[in-house]
Amino acid sequence: MKIKFACVFALIVMLSMRGSLVAQSDFYAIEHIPEVRLYFSQANWDEILDSLYVEGELARLGADLIIDANTYKDVGVRYKGFSSFSSERDKNPFNIDLDYVYQNQNHQGYKKIKLSNVIQDPSFVREVLSYEIARKYMPASLANYANVYVNDTLIGLYSNVEAVNGDFLEKHYGDSEDTFFKCNPETIDLNGENANLSDSPGESIDAYSPLYKLKSDEQEGWNELYEFIDILNNSPSDISSVLNIDQTLWMHAFNYALINFDSYIGYAQNYYLYKDQSGKFNPILWDLNMSFASYRLTDASDHWDGFSIAEAKEMDPLQHLNSFSVHPRPLIRNVLNNESHKRMYLAHLRTIMEENFDNQEYALRADYMQNLIDASVLADTNKFYSYDDFNANLNSTVSDLVDYPGITDLMNDRSVYLSSYTGISGAPDIGSIQVSPTSTKVGDNVSITATVSGSPLNVFCAYRFSEREDFELLTMFDDGNHDDGLSGDGQYGVKLEEISNLVQYYIYAENDSAGRFSPERAAYEFYEIESRVGKNELTINEIRTNNLFGETDQDDEYENWVELYNNSFYPISLEGMYLSTEENNLMQWPLPNEVIEAGQYKLIWLDGDTLQAGMHCSFSVRSDADSLWLVYGDGTVIDSVFFGAQEAITSFGRYPNATGSFREMIPSPRALNEGVNLPVLNDPVFVYPNPAYNELNIRLNTTETAEVTLYTLDGRTMLPTQEMEGQTTKQLDLSLCSNGVYLLRVSYDNENFIKKILITK
C-alpha cells in the first residue's frame, strides 16, 4: 500500500515536456529567481501598453524576450490585473504570450508567463507562500519570483505565477478541451453578486456573460454553465453530479484558513471553473496576492462592510451557515448544508492548519523565501513599500493605505482559535489499514480493513481505478461479516470486487460532529493497490507509421499512431507503464494515468509532440522499420512489436484481433482488426489515392517486374513508361497533368491491367 498524489500525472507531463532541458533551472523552482528581460522597439512602450489596457481588447505589443539567456522572438505583451494596474505606476503586472507569433514557442513547456507586481503585500511572500500551501491539497499554480527588466532597465522583483490555461488543465485533468470559465466580472460591483454562481441573473444566458468569461472554444459552454448554476441553486441534492465536491471543500478550507477573501468568499471573483472528463466542474484558485488578510473589505456575511485584523483571526469558517449571506453564496451554503460535506470541509481545514500553521512550517517557509529574495527586494526601486516594511511584515502589522497584518501574528492566533472549533476538534481516529490478499492480480476480490475509534457514525472507503474517474463511496462495516474481525471490535471492513490493475482509495470516518480522512490530504492524496496484467490482457493491437491521408488528431493533423487494446474483462489503468522504441531505454515515455475499459481501445499519437492536447507520445517512429515496446517501470515487457516499412494506406496489426500475429491490414483505429482480405492487400495492382492530386501511388502485389504507363483517354502517352519491381510501391508525379480522366496501364508477365484515374486539383 502506497500513498500517491493526484498530481502525479502533472509530473509525468512536465517531465516529458522537459526531457531535453536537463541543464536548465526549473522556471518555477522556488530556489531559482529567473531573469526576465523584455525588449521593445518603441521608446514609449509603457504608454502603448497603458493605452492597450484601457482599450480592453486584450491586444498585445510585440517584443523580444530573454529568460535566463534563452531568447524568444516576437512575443506578445500586455498589462494585466485590476487594482494592481495603474497608468501612474512604473511597476505594472505583465502578461507575456510566447507563442503570439510563432506557434508553440515556449520556455520549458510554458507558453504564457504571468508576472504580478507584488502590490498589497509588504512581506513579498503572501502569493508565493499561499500557492505552495495550496498545491498540497488541490491543483494550483506553481509560483516563485522573477527579476524583470525592460530594455535592460530593472523594473523590479515580481511574483511569477503559472497561468491557469490549457497547459495547466492538461497537466492536472488530462485534457483541456472541455468547458472552461474564468469567474471574474467585467466590472466588480461592490454592492452586487458578481460571479457568485447564483441564478439571480435569470434564465437568459446572455445575462451571465458580463460575470463569467468563457475561455474554451465551444459556445455550448454557456449552456453547460447555466445547467450547473441551475442545479447548484435549485437541486442541492444533485450537486455532486455536476461539481467536484472535494476540490470545492478544499478551496473553501484554504480560503478560510488563510483569510484569502479576495476570492469567492468576498466579492465572488478570482477563481476558474473547469468541467473535467467525468462531467463535473472543478473550482481552481487564482490571484492569491491579498491572502493572509491583506484584503478585508467584505466577507459577504457578518462583516459585510469589512473586518479588522482582530476579527480576521477569529473569522467563523461556517459564517454563511451560522449567520446570513448579504448576497447568495450557493457554492458555500448549498454545499455545506449537507452534514457530511460540512464535516469533510472542517476536516480539510484542520489538515491545513495542522500541517502548515500549528507546527510553524509556514513561518519557516516564509522566512526562507524572504532570505532568498532579500537582495532583489532591496534592489527594487519601484516596490510599493519600504525595505523596512518588507522585513517587518512577516511578523508585524505594516500601515500604509490600509493595515497589512503581520503574517505570523495573524496565523498564530488563528491557529489557536480554530484548534478548539467544534467540528475541527473531536474527530475519529483511523489506523491500521490493511489490504488482503497482499498480492493481487486483475479481476481479484480485495478486502480493505481499518481500525476506527472515536464513536464513528459512518465509515466509508472511497475507491476508483484511475485519476480520471470519480471516487465511489462504499460503506465499511464492523459487523463481523466483511472480513473485519469480530463484530463491534472497532475494525471496519469492505470488499472490492473484480479490481483493476490499479485501485486508488482512501478512508473517511465521521462521528456526530467531526470527520477525518486517511490519508489526511484525501482525495488529492490516496492509497494505491497495484496489480500486474496477465498475458495477452493488454496488447499492442495495431500500429500505423506512414499516415499520410488517414485519421487525424484533434488538430486535424495526420500523425502516426499505436492502438492499445484491453483484452480482459476488467478495466486496465496505464499508470506505471511506458512506451519505447529503444530496447536499451525501455522507460522512454511514461503513459498518462488513464483507464482502458474492458474490450476497448486507446489510440496514442506517435508524433513526439507533447505540447498538443491528448495522448501524444514524446517520440516518433520511423516509417521504414522500427520496434515498439510496452513495459512496466522495472523493465518487464507487457508486449512488443517489430515492424518494417508501411504503405501510406495500410497499417500493421494483430489478426485475429488482440491475439493473432502481426500482418499488414487496412487501418482500423479504435475498432476490430478485420481488413486483411481487401483489394489493397490482395489485388495484383492497387492504386491510391483515386481521385489523385499531384501524386499517385501504385502498389504491385506480385513478384514480377512491371511496366507502368499513364495515357489520356484518346491514347496519348501522358507519362513515359516506367519500370517497377514486384512487391513494391511506386509514386508517380502528376504535377504536370491537368484535371481529367486518365488510363493507367500496368504490364507484367504478358498481363495488362488498366485502371481509370481521376485527377482533380
DSSP state of 110: B
Report for 6-15, 242-251, 698-707: range of highest mean pLDDT: 242-251
pLDDT of residue 12: 39
* 516, 480 contact by CB (below 8 A): no
pLDDT of residue 610: 81
% of the chain residues with pLDDT over 90:
81
Alpha-helix runs per DSSP H in 585-682: 679-682
Cell 509525468, located at residue: 12
User: What's the rounded Cα separation, in Å, for the pair 180 and 19?
Assistant: 29
CA atoms within 13 A on the CB side of 758: 3
User: What's the rounded Cα separation, in Å, for the pair 405 and 298?
Assistant: 16
Torsion of CA 634, 635, 639, 644, to 10 degrees: 150
Q: State if pTM tops 0.75.
A: yes
pLDDT of residue 6: 55
Pull the grid cell for residue 290: 491579498
pLDDT of residue 9: 41
User: What's the rounded Cα separation, in Å, for the pair 284 and 636?
Assistant: 38
User: Residue 379 in 3-state DSSP?
Assistant: helix
The 10s digit of each residue's pLDDT in 186-232 is 889 988 899 999 999 999 999 999 999 999 988 899 999 999 999 99
Between 5 and 530, the higher pLDDT residue: 530
**26 vs 6, 112, 174, CA distance in Å?**
21, 15, 22
* 340, 240 contact by CB (below 8 A): no
The 10s digit of each residue's pLDDT in 63-77 is 999 999 999 999 999
CA atoms within 13 A on the CB side of 115: 28
* 684, 698 contact by CB (below 8 A): no
Looking at every residue in the chain, the average pLDDT score rounds to 93
β-sheet bridge partners, residue 477? 493
* 352, 133 contact by CB (below 8 A): yes
pLDDT, average across residues 261-277: 96
All domains in the chain, ordered by first residue: 2-167 (no CATH), 175-357 (no CATH), 429-530 (2.60.40.10), 538-677 (2.60.40), 683-759 (2.60.40.3080)
* 699, 647 contact by CB (below 8 A): yes
The 10s digit of each residue's pLDDT in 516-563 is 999 999 999 999 999 999 889 999 999 999 998 788 888 889 999 999
pLDDT, average across residues 310-338: 96
Neighbour tally for 348: CB within 10 Å: 27
User: What's the rounded Cα separation, in Å, for the pair 20 and 96?
Assistant: 23
User: Above 50 in pLDDT, residue 490?
Assistant: yes
Residues counted in the chain: 761
Cell 450547473, located at residue: 228
User: What's the rounded Cα separation, in Å, for the pair 520 and 538?
Assistant: 34
pLDDT of residue 21: 37
Alpha-helix runs per DSSP H in 64-141: 126-134
Instruction: Print burial letters for 603-627: b (CB count within 10 Å at least 16), e (below 16).
Output: bbbbbebbbbbbbbbbbbbebeebe
User: What's the rounded Cα separation, in Å, for the pair 478 and 501?
Assistant: 27
Q: Is 3 exposed, middle or buried (0-12, 13-18, 19+ CB in 10 A)?
A: middle
* 471, 423 contact by CB (below 8 A): no
Between 6 and 709, the higher pLDDT residue: 709
pLDDT, average across residues 114-134: 98
